[in-house]
Amino acid sequence: MRNAQPWKSFVPVAVNLLLGIPAIVPVFLVRYVLSNGPLAELGLTSRDPNEDDGMLLWLLTSSPG
């Protein structure tokens, strides 16, 4: 049973990497939308001065799937 110990510690690390790395993009997009939208309207953050085309909404609503 001594050989099973390293395998048991590797499984949580592998699962964390498999779930954590793909979550970077959605977390970034949620932060981006919140900081340029509702939080900026409340005065808690400032809008990105380069965000003037409004294409993020089109990207999110027209993407397949």
Question: Is 0.75 topped by the overall pTM?
Answer: no
> What's the pLDDT score for residue 10?
87
* pLDDT at 2 > cutoff 60: no
Cα 12 from Cα 1, distance rounded (Å): 19
Cα 20 from Cα 24, distance rounded (Å): 7
Cα 52 from Cα 62, distance rounded (Å): 19
* pLDDT at 56 > cutoff 80: no
Residue with tokens 């900081």: 35
> What's the pLDDT score for residue 44?
92
- Name which of 24, 51, 20 is nearest 35 in CA terms: 51
Residue 46 near residue 40 (C-beta atoms within 8 A): yes
Read off the pLDDT of residues 3-37 as tens digits, 9 standing for 90 and up: 556 667 888 888 888 888 888 888 888 888 888 88
